[in-house]
């Protein structure tokens, strides 16, 4: 299994250009977090820092962490206390009133270890609020990826890096690791995107890292053609088949 840091390579400018909708999706999660003045909050998977800035508008102090050096640098340029850190090896102990995470934890297949680290970082009574991919997320996209790889044995075996649990599994995991689950919900969130080819470039570069340039271009073209039928219309353009889990839990 690939290490978490090897799953995908992130470029802040490309992410902002082609996946700005992900940042907008964070706003309801911040509402659920309900940050308070004076609180110390960890933003786990901060990206280029926009959600962390929204949290700080409420008077909280955010420590923002991400695996990507490029993302962390962009967050620092916005004045944030941003650091490179791994969800499965957080260097914090009982420091935070809350841990916030948006669109990150589906990239962490070691889910129990991540939850343990989140619990370790929180003070007793601290809250964990997150949204990430849930069961059925990008199902059509995943099937297209697998179909294209099956057509081309020369590509090798496809390794899908994502972790998309259902609410029962994730809720049980949280309880086993010492959390009281206040709220958990599966939310279908069809999301307009500029072009599925750009989505594939951004979010599957870890899957295609071993391919030649020519093979990668062929992969994106064939996947795009497959997905036209299910994810594209003249009226709406491209709409990705997102499904999210949104959760709020308290460390007991």
Per-residue pLDDT tens over the stretch 185-194: 999 999 999 9
> Position of tokens 């998977």?
45
pLDDT value at position 61? Answer: 98
> Position of tokens 């099937």?
143
pLDDT value at position 22? Answer: 55
Share of the chain above pLDDT 70, in %: 90
pLDDT value at position 25? Answer: 74
Buried residues in 29-42 as b, exposed as e (16+ CB within 10 A): bbebbebeeebebb
pLDDT in tens, 42-53: 999 999 999 999
Residue 10 has pLDDT above 80, yes or no: no
pTM of the full structure: 0.90
- Contact call for residues 109 and 161 (beta carbons, < 8 A): yes
The CATH label, of 3.30.830.10, 3.40.50.150, 3.40.1080.10, 3.30.420.40, for the domain at 4-138+162-193+241-251 is 3.40.50.150
Instruction: Give the confidence band of 9 by pLDDT, cuts at 50, 70, 90.
Output: low
- Reduced to 3 states (helix: H, G, I; strand: E, B; else coil), residue 64 is strand
Question: Where in the chain are the domains?
Answer: 4-138+162-193+241-251
pLDDT in tens, 132-180: 999 999 999 999 999 999 999 999 999 999 999 999 999 999 999 999 9
pLDDT value at position 19? Answer: 44
Residue 13 has pLDDT above 70, yes or no: no
pLDDT in tens, 234-248: 999 999 999 999 999
Interatomic CA distance for residues 191 and 23, integer angstroms: 12
Buried residues in 102-134 as b, exposed as e (16+ CB within 10 A): bbbbbbbbbbebbbbbbbebbeeebbbbbbbbb
């Amino acid at each position: 299994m690939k290490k978490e840091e090897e799953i995908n390579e992130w470029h802040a400018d490309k992410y902002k250009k082609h996946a700005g909708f992900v940042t907008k999706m964070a706003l309801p999660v911040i509402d659920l977090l309900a940050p308070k003045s004076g609180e110390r909050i960890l933003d786990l998977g901060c990206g280029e820092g926009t959600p962390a800035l929204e949290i700080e508008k409420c008077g909280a102090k955010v420590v923002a962490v991400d695996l990507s050096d490029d993302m962390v640098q962009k967050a620092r340029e916005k004045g944030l206390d941003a650091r490179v850190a791994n969800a499965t090896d957080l260097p914090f102990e009982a420091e935070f009133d809350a841990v916030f995470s948006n669109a990150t934890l589906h990239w962490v297949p070691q889910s129990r270890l991540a939850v343990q680290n989140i619990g370790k970082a929180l003070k007793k009574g601290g809250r964990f609020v997150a949204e990430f991919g849930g069961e059925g997320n990008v199902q059509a996209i995943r099937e297209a990826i697998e179909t294209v790889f099956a057509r081309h044995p020369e590509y090798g075996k496809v390794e899908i890096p994502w972790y998309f649990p259902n609410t029962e599994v994730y809720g049980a995991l949280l309880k086993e690791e010492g959390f009281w689950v206040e709220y958990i919900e599966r939310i279908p969130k069809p999301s307009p995107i500029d072009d599925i080819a750009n989505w594939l470039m951004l979010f599957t570069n870890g899957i295609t890292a071993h391919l030649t340039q020519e093979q990668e271009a062929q992969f994106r073209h064939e996947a795009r053609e497959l997905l036209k039928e299910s994810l594209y219309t003249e009226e709406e353009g491209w709409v990705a088949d997102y499904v999210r889990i949104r959760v709020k839990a308290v460390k007991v």
